[in-house]
Amino acid sequence: MLLQPPAIRPQTPPPGLEPEIDARVTRVTSVAGAVAFDNPALQLKGSIAATAAHRLQIVEIVLGETAVYTELAAFRLVSAAGEEYAPVAVGGRPDTLFPTARLPLEQEVGQILPSDAVLAVTRHGDVSVTLEAGPKATLAFLYDIPQEAAVVSLRLPDRTVLPLPK
C-alpha cells in the first residue's frame, strides 16, 4: 500500500445519483479464522477476527470500464432476510485486505493492482471511508456477519444488486 497526503476530491454524489457501475462478483469465501493484514508503509500489522457469534465473509468483484468514487459502506452484503452489512476491510485482493478502522484519518492509502488500476481509500472519521478504484480494478471486501446469515447478493452504490455465486 502507498501512503500519500490527502488529495482534493469531488464530493460523493448523494445516494441514488451515483453513475452506473459495471461490475461482477468473481468469488465469495467464508473465512474460518482471522484474516491477517500488513501494511509496511503505515507500520501496521495484525489480524481481523469475527465478533462474537459472527463469521467473516470475503466478496471479490471486478470492475468493468467504470471508475468508482463512493462511500465504501455503500457496497452492502445482503442476506436472504434482507439484512445488510457494510465492509469492515477492503483491498485489491483477499491477501491485501486492510481494516478500515485502522486507516489513518484524512490520508489516502492505495494499492496498485495487477490490472494497473489503482485502489485508494481515505477514512474521514469513524463512519466515513471513501473508495476510489479505476476501471478494471479488482476489489475484495471483508464482512463481519452473523453466523447464521445466508448471504445472497451484493448491492452496489448505484443500487444494482449482484447475485452471489453458489
- In this structure, which amino acid lies at residue 164? L
Which cell is 61 given?
468483484
Checking if the pLDDT of 12 tops 60, the result is: no
Pick 7 or 83 by higher pLDDT: 83
Q: What percent of the chain stands above pLDDT 70?
A: 89
Checking if the pLDDT of 8 tops 90, the result is: no
pLDDT of residue 6: 43
Convert the pLDDT of each residue in 85-103 to its tens digit. Answer: 999 999 999 999 999 999 9
Q: What is the pTM of this model?
A: 0.88
Q: Describe the strand order of the beta sheet including 138-146 as a list of residue ranges.
A: 23-31, 54-63, 138-146, 89-91, 98-99
Q: What average pLDDT does this structure show over 14-37?
A: 84
pLDDT band at residue 4 using 50, 70 and 90 as cut-offs: very low
Convert the pLDDT of each residue in 107-140 to its tens digit. Answer: 999 999 988 999 999 999 888 999 999 999 999 9
First-residue to last-residue Cα distance in the chain: 32
Checking if the pLDDT of 7 tops 70, the result is: no
Q: List the chain domain ranges.
A: 20-163
